[in-house]
Structure 1
Amino acid sequence: MAGLFKEFQTFIARGNVLDLAVGVIIGGAFGGITKSLTDDVIMPVVGWIFGGFDFSSYFFRLGPIPASYRGSPDSYAALKAAGVPLLGYGEFITVVINFVILAFIVFMLVRSVNRLVALAEHEKKQGTAPPAADPADVVLLREIRDELRSRSTPPTASEPR
């Protein structure tokens, strides 16, 4: 059990889990923005173009309206709140449009990031200049080191003593 806990702790400590958590939180907020974009901006324009076409009002009633219901028989939201079984295909169309918009935006973000990464890699390949020359003091220190090494090595059989 201790090994499992240690493995879980290692898993949580990795950055991937934190990145995923941040992504889920931002994704939830982004979903709300997309829903508002669809419901408050795009769908009214679509409705205006098609002469008042409102997807949310399209539904099939699958059961009877209760006798105690006093709202409009054409209000999807009121009927749904009253517990009337409904097939709300207009709401489904709105959700599909939300998904398509969200998928397109995510596609554009991923596409942009991929282009930036490719551009950075291209610039990195293009910018591989030879390293700068060593400073004079480093060169001098290397010469001194090499000279000291040559003096401290014992002479070989071919060298005079």
Structure 2
Amino acid sequence: MIKEFRDFIARGNVLDLAVAVIIGAAFATIATSLTEDIIMPVIGAIFGGLDFSSYFVLLGPVPDGYSGSLADYAALKKAGAPVLGWGQFVTVLINFLILAFIIFLLIKAANKAMRRGPDAPAGPTETELLTEIRDELRRR
């Protein structure tokens, strides 16, 4: 069983998949930063300083002993208050759409490059090859 597992891991497809997952996770981090650090602040500035990640609806009572602000989503969530963080969801949704669009562009470019293929010189046609063979046979 250990040999089978080793053979399974050593297969190229599994290693390629592992590399793809690691690169994908790193790429997702970049897309998250793009969304949270660049795009969402610009959207917030356009719409009057909105920070979508802090928009929420308080669904129930605040836990006893909570002394923080009732407008602090992260603190309320950490304290265990029932909150519906719709603003954070909007931020994550935008992050997903950006990531999906970038992946779409990468796959589209890869497919275009694969269709084009290397620029190989055009070889002789079938008729030209048959003519050459005929002429060679006549010379003999």
Q: 1:105, 1:99 → 2: CA distance?
A: 10
Q: Does the alignment pair 1:102 with 2:99?
A: yes
* C-alpha RMSD of matched pairs (Å): 1.5
For the pair shown, the structure with the greater C-alpha radius of gyration is 1
Selected match of 1:30 from 27, 30, 33: 27
Q: 2:50, 2:56 → 1: CA distance?
A: 13
Q: Which 4+ stretches in 1 moved above 2 angstroms?
A: 5-11
Unpaired segments of 5 or more residues in structure 1?
Answer: 131-161
Q: Does the alignment pair 1:43 with 2:37?
A: no
User: 1:61: Cα distance to partner?
Assistant: 1.0
Q: 1:71, 1:111 → 2: CA distance?
A: 49
Give matches, 1:9-158, under 5 Å. 9-120=6-117, 123-124=119-120, 127-129=121-123
- Return the structure number with greater relative CO, CA threshold 8 A, min gap 6: 2
Q: 1:84, 1:26 → 2: CA distance?
A: 36
Q: 2:68, 2:100 → 1: CA distance?
A: 37
Q: 1:11, 1:116 → 2: CA distance?
A: 31
User: 1:6: Cα distance to partner?
Assistant: 4.0
- TM (norm. structure 2) is 0.81
User: 1:65: Cα distance to partner?
Assistant: 1.0
Q: Deviations over 1:39-69 (max 9, x none)?
A: 0000000001111122112111122112311
Q: 2:73, 2:102 → 1: CA distance?
A: 30
- TM (norm. structure 1) is 0.71
Q: 2:6, 2:86 → 1: CA distance?
A: 45
Percent same amino acid at aligned positions?
A: 60
User: 1:13: Cα distance to partner?
Assistant: 1.6
